Amino acid sequence: MTNRATHPEQDSGTIIGKLWERNYDPPTRRIIENLPIGSDWRCLDVGAGLGSMSRWLAERTPRGSVLAMDVDTSRLETSGASNLTVREADITTAEFASESFELVLIRAVLSELDDPVDLLTRAADWLSPGGWLVAEDFYFMPSEDATTPVGSRVIDGYIKAAMAGGVDWRQARRLPATLSRVGLESVDVTVRPLGPGQGREENELMRARMELQGQPLVDNGLVAAEDIEAFLAGLDRPEARDVTTLQFSAWGQRPASERRSR
C-alpha cells in the first residue's frame, strides 16, 4: 500500500472514508440539528473514522468539547479544533463516569460488536440527564430478493464475507427497541434506502468499495470476477436499481427528571 503519510491522496481507505462521509454525514447532521444542541455540550463520537462528524460537532459546541474515539485514529483529521480531543481506544472496554456527555454518537459500530446492547446500556449511563444518544447502522435485505441475478450473487457474497468476519447486520433493525430498553425516552427512528441507483454518492461509494474489496471476495470463492464487473457496470442503469440495504438511524434521550438506576 502507498504510504499515506506522504501520499494521502493514494490511500484507498481514506478515499472510501471520504466518500462514506459525503454519503452518510448529511442525514446524521439533520438528526442532530433537530436536537436542542447547546454550544456547551460535551460530545462523544464513537467510531469517528476520518473525523468529519467530530469536527462538525466541535464547530457546533465552541464552549463545549468533543471526544473522537476509534480503534484506529491514524486517518482522523482534527483541523486544529481546540475543543476536539482524539483517543485511540476500543469502545468495548472504554469507561466514562456517569453523566459525562450531553451527546453520544455511535455510527456503524454496533453491528461489529459481540454485545452491542452492553455498549448502548453503558452509553445511556454516560449521558447527563436530558442528554441524547444517536445510533446508526445498516441492515441488509435478503440477497435472493435483489432486482437482478448478478446483484443477488454479489450482495450474497458481500454479506457472507461480512458475517464470516463477525458482523451482525440484525442490530440496526433492533435499534429503536433497544434504546427504549436501556432506559431512553422520546425514541425515534428514520430509515433510509440504499443500494444501486439510490443516488450518485451511493453509487460512487459502492464502486470504490468493490474496487477495494471485490478481489478478496473473488479470491475466497464468494463471487465471480465477471459478476463484480457486471454489477459495477449496471450501477447507473435504471433497470438495475435496487434497495439492498437500509440505514437505520435511531435516537433517544436520557430522562431529564431522574437519575437512571442500573
pLDDT digits (tens, 9 = 90+) for 163-185: 999 999 889 999 999 999 999 99
2 pLDDT above the threshold of 50 = no
Sorted by sequence, the CB contacts under 8 Å of residue 232 that are 6+ apart come out as 206, 207, 210
Q: Is residue 148 a part of any domain in this protein?
A: no
**pLDDT at res. 39:** 97
Indicate the range of 14-18, 67-71, 124-128 predicted with least confidence: 14-18
Position 237 confidence tier, pLDDT thresholds 50, 70, 90: very high
In a domain, 81, yes or no: yes
- Average pLDDT for residues 218-231, to the nearest whole number? 96
Q: For the chain, what percent of residues have pLDDT higher than 90?
A: 88
Provide the pLDDT for residue 5: 33
Distance of CA 12 to the CA centre of its chain: 18
Say which residue, 195 or 260, is predicted with more confidence. Answer: 195
Q: What is the CATH number of the domain that holds 96?
A: 3.40.50.150
> Which pLDDT does position 262 carry in this prediction?
41
Confidence band, pLDDT 50/70/90 cuts, at residue 3: very low
Query: Rounded to an integer, what distance in angstroms lies between the CA atom of residue 256 and that of residue 185?
Result: 9
Tell me how far the alpha carbon of residue 245 is from its chain's centroid.
13
Residue 135 belongs to domain spanning: 8-140+167-195+245-253
Q: How many Cβ atoms sit within 10 Å of the Cβ of residue 113?
A: 18
pLDDT value at 247 more than 70: yes
- Structure-model confidence comparison of residues 9 and 124, the more confident one: 124
Place 47 in a pLDDT band, splitting at 50, 70 and 90. very high
Sort residue 63 into left (φ over 0), alpha (ψ -120 to 50) or beta.
Answer: alpha
Closest CA to 231 of 162, 163, 152: 152
- pLDDT confidence of residue 258: 58
Residue 153 lies in a domain: no
Residue range 61-90: average pLDDT? Answer: 95
Distance CA 47, CA 177 (A): 22
Indicate whether 220 belongs to any domain.
no
pLDDT band at 259 (very low <50, low <70, confident <90, very high): low
More confident position, 227 or 1: 227
Report, as an integer, the average pLDDT of 223-235: 95
- What digits encode the pLDDT tens for the residues 6-46? 333 447 788 899 999 999 999 999 999 999 999 999 999 99
Could you report how far apart the first and last alpha carbons of the chain are, in Å? 47
Query: Percent of the chain at pLDDT above 70?
Result: 94
Q: Is the dihedral of CA 12, 53, 77, 115 positive or negative?
A: negative
Q: Is residue 234 part of a domain?
A: no
Residue 203 within a domain: no
Domain count, the chain: 1
> Is 61 within a domain?
yes
User: Burial letters for 42-74: b for 16+ Cβ neighbours within 10 Å, e otherwise?
Assistant: bbbbbbbbbbbbbbbbbebbeebbbbbbbeebe
Cβ-based neighbour number of residue 199 at 10 Å: 13
Check residue 93 and give its pLDDT: 93
Instruction: Give the mean model confidence (pLDDT) for residues 127-147.
Output: 97
Q: Does residue 39 lie in a domain region?
A: yes
For the CA atoms of the chain, what is the radius of gyration?
Answer: 19
